[in-house]
A and B are shown apart, each in its own frame.
Chain A
Amino acid sequence: MQESAYFDKYNPINGVWDEMYGADASVRAHYRKVIEYISGESADDLNKKEELAKRLFMSQGITFTVYNSGEGIEKIFPFDIIPRIITAEEWAFVEKGIKQRLTALNLFLKDVYHNQFIIKDGIVPIDIIYSCPHFLREMYQLQVPYDIYVHISGIDIIRDHDGTFYVLEDNLRTPSGVSYMLENREITKRLFPDLLPQCGVRSVTEYPTILYKNLLALSPRQIHNPTIVLLTPGIYNSAYFEHTTLARLMGVELVEGRDLVVNNHKVYMKTTTGLQQVDVIYRRVDDEYLDPLVFNPGSMLGVAGIMGAYRKGNVAIVNATGTGVADDKAVYVYVPEMIKYYLNEEPLLKNVPTLQLGNMDERAHVFENINKMVIKKTNGSGGYGMLMGHASTEQEIEDYKLEILKDPRNFIAQPTISLSAAPCYMQGELQPRRIDLRPYALYGPAGIEIVPGGLTRVALKEGSLVVNSSQGGGSKDTWVLGALEVKGERLKVKGELKTQEGKGERLKAKGEPKAEEKVKAESLKPKKERRKQLF
């Protein structure tokens, strides 16, 4: 193995979990075939592959448009040709963990919009819920089909320096990126012919089929051919490519707000042969733009009266409105508690230790240790409006503190997590770059299904920890291997998982005296050197 020039030059980042580079300075078993394959290719060949990938993205129009001085510039979402590989065991664990978490989150949504037992039992404080801008009173006591709120989720998962999986964010509103999961795979098939079957990579192509089946089941009218539409904000939206891809793959109509009209609490679309009733709407328009009569009155993207039709049960909306209360970052803190409360189970996937700045003691602690912290807005996304303590100037920190003090409830702090790294092809060699993972879970009447794979986002800048596409991130194809793969390594991987379960940090328990919380936050970092790596 060691004869590979690419591998010999590879310098793993110290103290960071490397998906390819094993502890004994060798290639991990599940990466071997890929490294062997690319070792047979010259840097020229790989450059050509990289070129080919770019050309394929461009000619297929897998681009987003950045509007600058009145002129549209086509950009592709940067793609790294080396796949990120996940073993069958790792996947089984992640899959189970996501299913557990999503089940609890969905129960939480039902509870919070109906009886609110979890508030009454003092598990989640009432002010956290009511101060959340995504908590919608319009959803109160509304019966949604099959009690499913989060039909589509994209939970972001990261790995710490010892390989432990953590949940970074729950994306339960309108998560995007799934088209890149599908397109990256198509392009990898072209780049590395025959390699996928040799490695036993599981297919992701089922995604649109499962989603369509789930949407079909939600139709309020019991007819053989209900009308399902995908509601897009339009061609200027940066995810427009994804909307068309999904509509095409499912064979459903792609509509904009102006194509729909509500009459007598029913939604219709305007066609060349008159109005046609719509039964299920997979919307990629945010809650606040969905209905100008109920939410933002200036919205041109939504449909006036659509919430009325929804409340009457004449149309199904996917995801349900109001799911944002469950992926609010202040509510995130309570998810492990929810899992225990609703399911009576121990959470499999851990939360990243999170401090709420609405809490005075925790705030004081964060301000003291701000260099080791990442501070985020509770309802922000896309990597906007966050502060990376270790990479900010004094002035930026002071300004940000003032911002926090205006409304502390809107901020949380997390220790700087050392994301795991994977090899990327950069200027003729392999270099480690930080990655995360977003698997897409589909919740239908038959249960939760997750296609084996997801979107691996990668921070392409050297040393960067931010993977968001808006902040210079790119993506990789994500391979989940079938169970028959890598026999020799299986035991070892299992061992790792074991230790990870045992070693996990204790989660902040609710109802403990406040004074202890600061100490708790400290105790989240058990060892000195660990602290250096994790935080």
Chain B
Amino acid sequence: MLSRVAASFYWLSRYIERSDGMLRMLKINYASSQDTVQEFTWEPVIRIFAGQDEEEETGKIENNSRAVLKYMVTGKSNSNSILNIITLARENARGVQEHIPKDLWQCLNEYYHTVKEPRLEKALQREDPIGVLDVLIKQVMLYYGTAEITMERGEGRSFMNIGKYLERAIQSVDILDAKFGSIDDNPNLLTDTSYWKHLLLSLGGYELYLKTYREGFESTNILEQVMLNEDFPRSVIYSVNNIQRYFERLKNDSNLDDYREMSFQIGRLQSRIKYSSVKSIELEGLHLFLTQIRKELYGIGNSLNEHYFANS
């Protein structure tokens, strides 16, 4: 497979996964903004999903839900808006059009045209935003379903899945870091059940949590589920296991050295998380721990660039 094609698969998939995480986050946060008595702040959401450079601009809108939605979904100036990342995803897909099934391309193309549709922006401002976000979430689900059914089980899919799980792991780490970081400023949140409930809802882990833990919302339990539960599809360990799983499939006689180096890197990260416990993480300091994991995840992205995408 061409290095450029592999890189496009990887990035295409990262952008789609990012849009998925963002849309769910926006939806739950909007719902929660309807539920609060005090002024609702979008600051953590913006911090997780918008680039650093935009922060000045967003300071002004962080209490205005509609303005945030506009900025995050159809904002042209926000390089991480759904509109911009889906445009990028589509351009990556265009570059590898003959490698992806036609169905998948059409699906992505439709997603793009849905986001671009001027009516969507209007509806986001005037109508029920949850309905609009649901339309977009459905597009992502269609994409994943189509990919699952039509994508050839080969190298391309491995790169796609590595991109998907890498993005997801980074997102979960970022979300944990932001949510637990806010507690330092505002200790009252620690006992605020709706705060934790919304965190779980935005990760789709609410039901699993209720089944696993019977003693109500405890921050340590939430940390355990999002970091260490191997059965929770949005947990960091689940994503890293999958990165390892799909990376293993890239093993090939002609690039053994590259493979070994990266395999070592991924294995080290996997063990680091697997052999941690909530206790050991707290002992180490959560923020420090998350910062290290994030650095390792970025390291995997850089190594792919160097060893597989001929971008060194």
The interface of chain A, by Cβ under 8 A from chain B, is 58-61, 71-72, 74, 234-235, 240, 244-245, 247-248, 253-256, 258-259, 269-274
Q: Does B95 contact A (CB under 8 A)?
A: yes
Interface string of B32-44 (1 = CB under 8 A from A): 0000000000000
Beyond known contacts A61-B97, A74-B113, A244-B98: 10 more, CB 8 A cutoff = A59-B106, A72-B87, A244-B94, A245-B98, A247-B98, A248-B97, A248-B102, A270-B3, A272-B308, A273-B1
Q: Does B242 contact A (CB under 8 A)?
A: no
Instruction: Tell me which residues from 195 to 239 in chain B have a Cβ below 8 Å from any Cβ of chain A.
Output: none
Once bound together, how far apart are the Cα atoms of A259 and B7, in whole Å? 12
Once bound together, how far apart are the Cα atoms of A71 and B2, in whole Å? 29
Q: Does B255 contact A (CB under 8 A)?
A: yes
A-B complex: 8 closest residue pairs judged by Cβ atoms: A248-B98, A244-B97, A247-B98, A273-B254, A61-B109, A270-B3, A270-B310, A235-B94
If A244-B98, A274-B255 touch, whether A58 touches B113 (CB-CB below 8 Å) is yes
B109 touches A60 (CB 8 A): yes
The residue among A72, A235, A255 with the most chain B CB atoms within 10 A of its own CB is A235
A259 touches B109 (CB 8 A): no
Q: Does B6 contact A (CB under 8 A)?
A: yes
If A258-B4, A272-B308, A274-B254 touch, whether A59 touches B110 (CB-CB below 8 Å) is yes
* 20 cross-chain CB contacts under 8 A: A59-B106, A60-B102, A60-B105, A71-B76, A240-B94, A244-B94, A245-B98, A247-B98, A248-B98, A254-B98, A256-B4, A258-B4, A270-B310, A271-B1, A272-B1, A272-B308, A272-B309, A273-B1, A273-B255, A274-B255
Query: Shortest distance in angstroms between A64's beta carbon and chain B's nearest beta carbon?
Result: 11
Query: Shortest distance in angstroms between A224's beta carbon and chain B's nearest beta carbon?
Result: 19
A235 touches B255 (CB 8 A): no
Once bound together, how far apart are the Cα atoms of A515 and B250, in whole Å? 75
Query: Shortest distance in angstroms between A175's beta carbon and chain B's nearest beta carbon?
Result: 20
B6 touches A272 (CB 8 A): yes
Once bound together, how far apart are the Cα atoms of A270 and B159, in whole Å? 16
A60 touches B106 (CB 8 A): yes
Once bound together, how far apart are the Cα atoms of A235 and B159, in whole Å? 21
What is the chain A residue whose CB lies nearest that of B93? A61
Once bound together, how far apart are the Cα atoms of A71 and B77, in whole Å? 12
Once bound together, how far apart are the Cα atoms of A271 and B109, in whole Å? 27
Q: Does B252 contact A (CB under 8 A)?
A: yes
Tally A-B pairs: CB < 8 A. Answer: 64
The interface of chain B, by Cβ under 8 A from chain A, is 1-4, 6, 76, 87, 91, 94-95, 97-98, 102, 105-106, 109-110, 113, 155, 159, 250, 252, 254-255, 308-310
Query: Shortest distance in angstroms between B160's beta carbon and chain A's nearest beta carbon?
Result: 13
What is the chain A residue whose CB lies nearest that of B91? A235
Query: Shortest distance in angstroms between B42's beta carbon and chain A's nearest beta carbon?
Result: 26
- A255 surroundings in chain B (CB, below 8 A): 2, 4
B97 touches A271 (CB 8 A): no
- A259 surroundings in chain B (CB, below 8 A): 2-4
What is the chain A residue whose CB lies nearest that of B101? A248
Once bound together, how far apart are the Cα atoms of A288 and B16, in whole Å? 38
- B255 surroundings in chain A (CB, below 8 A): 272-274
Once bound together, how far apart are the Cα atoms of A273 and B257, in whole Å? 11
What is the chain A residue whose CB lies nearest that of B100? A248
- B113 surroundings in chain A (CB, below 8 A): 58-59, 74
Query: Shortest distance in angstroms between B107's beta carbon and chain A's nearest beta carbon?
Result: 9
- B109 surroundings in chain A (CB, below 8 A): 59-61
Contact of B2 among A59, A240, A271 (CB under 8 A): A271
Query: Shortest distance in angstroms between A449's beta carbon and chain B's nearest beta carbon?
Result: 23
B3 touches A61 (CB 8 A): no
What is the chain B residue whose CB lies nearest that of A260? B2
- B310 surroundings in chain A (CB, below 8 A): 270
The residue among A72, A234, A254, A259 with the most chain B CB atoms within 10 A of its own CB is A254
- A273 surroundings in chain B (CB, below 8 A): 1, 252, 254-255
What is the chain B residue whose CB lies nearest that of A58? B113
The residue among B97, B98, B102 with the most chain A CB atoms within 10 A of its own CB is B98
Query: Shortest distance in angstroms between A279's beta carbon and chain B's nearest beta carbon?
Result: 16
If A58-B113, A253-B2 touch, whether A272 touches B155 (CB-CB below 8 Å) is yes
Once bound together, how far apart are the Cα atoms of A508 and B31, in whole Å? 80
Once bound together, how far apart are the Cα atoms of A248 and B152, in whole Å? 14
A272 touches B250 (CB 8 A): yes
What is the chain A residue whose CB lies nearest that of B250? A272
- A258 surroundings in chain B (CB, below 8 A): 4
What is the chain A residue whose CB lies nearest that of B7? A272
- B4 surroundings in chain A (CB, below 8 A): 255-256, 258-259, 270
Once bound together, how far apart are the Cα atoms of A247 and B100, in whole Å? 12
Query: Shortest distance in angstroms between A13's beta carbon and chain B's nearest beta carbon?
Result: 38
What is the chain B residue whose CB lies nearest that of A246? B98
Once bound together, how far apart are the Cα atoms of A11 and B85, in whole Å? 50
Once bound together, how far apart are the Cα atoms of A245 and B94, in whole Å? 11
B2 touches A61 (CB 8 A): no
Once bound together, how far apart are the Cα atoms of A74 and B90, in whole Å? 12
Contact of B105 among A61, A72, A256, A270 (CB under 8 A): A61
Once bound together, how far apart are the Cα atoms of A234 and B155, in whole Å? 22
Once bound together, how far apart are the Cα atoms of A255 and B87, in whole Å? 21
- A60 surroundings in chain B (CB, below 8 A): 102, 105-106, 109
Query: Shortest distance in angstroms between B150's beta carbon and chain A's nearest beta carbon?
Result: 14
What is the chain B residue whose CB lies nearest that of A250? B98
Once bound together, how far apart are the Cα atoms of A72 and B2, in whole Å? 27
Query: Shortest distance in angstroms between A178's beta carbon and chain B's nearest beta carbon?
Result: 15
Once bound together, how far apart are the Cα atoms of A177 and B29, in whole Å? 49
A235 touches B95 (CB 8 A): yes
What is the chain B residue whose CB lies nearest that of A251? B98
The residue among B2, B3, B105 with the most chain A CB atoms within 10 A of its own CB is B2
Query: Shortest distance in angstroms between A212's beta carbon and chain B's nearest beta carbon?
Result: 13
Once bound together, how far apart are the Cα atoms of A145 and B89, in whole Å? 41
Once bound together, how far apart are the Cα atoms of A253 and B1, in whole Å? 9
Query: Shortest distance in angstroms between A278's beta carbon and chain B's nearest beta carbon?
Result: 11
Once bound together, how far apart are the Cα atoms of A245 and B98, in whole Å? 7
Once bound together, how far apart are the Cα atoms of A277 and B309, in whole Å? 18
- A256 surroundings in chain B (CB, below 8 A): 4
What is the chain A residue whose CB lies nearest that of B105? A61
Once bound together, how far apart are the Cα atoms of A72 and B159, in whole Å? 28
What is the chain B residue whose CB lies nearest that of A62? B109
Once bound together, how far apart are the Cα atoms of A148 and B124, in whole Å? 59
- B309 surroundings in chain A (CB, below 8 A): 272
What is the chain B residue whose CB lies nearest that of A273? B254
- B6 surroundings in chain A (CB, below 8 A): 272
- A271 surroundings in chain B (CB, below 8 A): 1-3
Once bound together, how far apart are the Cα atoms of A120 and B113, in whole Å? 60
Query: Shortest distance in angstroms between B298's beta carbon and chain A's nearest beta carbon?
Result: 21
If A235-B91, A244-B98, A248-B98 touch, whether A269 touches B2 (CB-CB below 8 Å) is yes
What is the chain A residue whose CB lies nearest that of B155? A272
Once bound together, how far apart are the Cα atoms of A195 and B155, in whole Å? 42
Contact of A272 among B3, B87, B95 (CB under 8 A): B3
Query: Shortest distance in angstroms between B161's beta carbon and chain A's nearest beta carbon?
Result: 15
Once bound together, how far apart are the Cα atoms of A235 and B109, in whole Å? 15
Once bound together, how far apart are the Cα atoms of A270 and B98, in whole Å? 17
Query: Shortest distance in angstroms between B91's beta carbon and chain A's nearest beta carbon?
Result: 6
